[in-house]
Amino acid sequence: MIKCHLSKLMGEKKLKIVDVARETGVNRGTITRLYHETASRVELETIDALCRYLDCDVGDLFEFKEDR
């Protein structure tokens, strides 16, 4: 399972979904799905934009966890 830490990263920086969408150019619905961990797929361009904006690595944004 892939865990998305977008909500944690945004919380640490006190960012709102609408602000991240506006600043990155990523669709607000995409940000919302990632924030709530309901996204089933993500474009590489989206990951790139989020990592640049949040100044983080892909590993900070996503984490692989074994299903148990």
CATH of the domain at 35: 1.10.260.40
Q: What percentage of the chain exceeds 90 in pLDDT?
A: 94
pLDDT level of residue 3 (50, 70, 90 thresholds) = very high
| Alpha-carbon gap, residue 32 to 43, rounded angstroms | 15
pLDDT score of 68 more than 90: no
User: How many CB atoms are closer than 10 A to CB 51?
Assistant: 18
pLDDT score of 38 more than 90: yes
Contact 41, 66 (CB under 8 A): no
Show Cβ contacts of residue 48 under 8 Å, excluding neighbours closer than 6 positions: none
Give CA torsion, residues 48, 52, 53, 57, to 10 deg.
90
Domain limits at 15? 2-64
Query: pTM of the entire structure?
Result: 0.92
Question: What's the structural domain count of the chain?
Answer: 1
